[in-house]
Amino acid sequence: MTRRTLFITGASTGIGAETARKAVVAGWNVALFARSKDKLDALADKLGTDHALALPGDVTDFEELKAAVDAAADHFGGLNAVFANAGRGLDTAGVENGDPDEWRVMLDLNINGLLYTVKAAYPHLKKAKGHAILTGSVAGKINLPGSIYGASKWFVQGFGGNLSEEMREWGGRCTVICPGMVDTPFFDEAKPDKLKPEDIADAVVYAIQQPDRADVREMVIMPTG
């Protein structure tokens, strides 16, 4: 069986790294993109370099990202799916006390980084009738007082629906994964009673493994605690 290939941003830790592990077990190759070369190299070694390729870079630099996507497609002979997972929150919530400079950095990553990932991967996905997975959030489906982070995830929600309509014109699919709180390095303190990265990774792998007739547009995963 020919292994398909998944490109993952934010792949060095948390949801991205766990998705890479689950995808390799499920029979996929993975291209790992994040800023931390050491972490990516260690993860690729652990997963096996026959099926994992470390590609360090900055998701907010379109040319750097495009070069990595193209390198992954060349290395593995194509690209079947992309997981636009890189993102960040804010240290100071709300509008009144919020820091506009911090907003700018977050929005560049959560919005432009997502758009750049899809743009860079688009020709490869179109060729393969492939799949785009976007990390949204429950925060992008509800209203939270003054949440700039939540507003960035509302963008993901809207864009994901629009992208689904565009991709279906040529047989592609898009899924928005909307987690509740997940115990990842995203937070300064551990959240032991919340979701684990592997819970979200399982959802990603489920979506990309569906038969061509099934289009999973959105998945919401909430902690029971």
Could you give phi then psi for residue 100, rounded to 5 degrees?
Answer: -55, -35
Q: Answer whether residue 208 shows pLDDT above 90.
A: yes
Q: Distance (Å, rounded) from C-alpha 133 to C-alpha 113?
A: 13
The residue-averaged pLDDT of 136-149 equals 96
Q: Distance (Å, rounded) from C-alpha 13 to C-alpha 62?
A: 22
Q: Answer whether residue 1 shows pLDDT above 90.
A: no
The residue-averaged pLDDT of 40-57 equals 97
Q: Answer whether residue 188 shows pLDDT above 70.
A: no
Angle (deg, nearest 10), helices 62-76 and 114-128: 30
- Residue percentage of the chain with pLDDT more than 90: 93
The residue-averaged pLDDT of 178-204 equals 85
pTM reported for the whole predicted model: 0.95
Residue 9 and residue 30 in contact, taking contact as beta carbons nearer than 8 Å: no
The residue-averaged pLDDT of 30-38 equals 97
Residue 145 and residue 103 in contact, taking contact as beta carbons nearer than 8 Å: no
Give the chain's mean pLDDT.
95
pLDDT computed for residue 225 by the predictor: 77
Q: Distance (Å, rounded) from C-alpha 218 to C-alpha 204?
A: 10
Q: Is 149 a catalytic residue?
A: yes
Is the pLDDT higher at 41 or at 194? 41
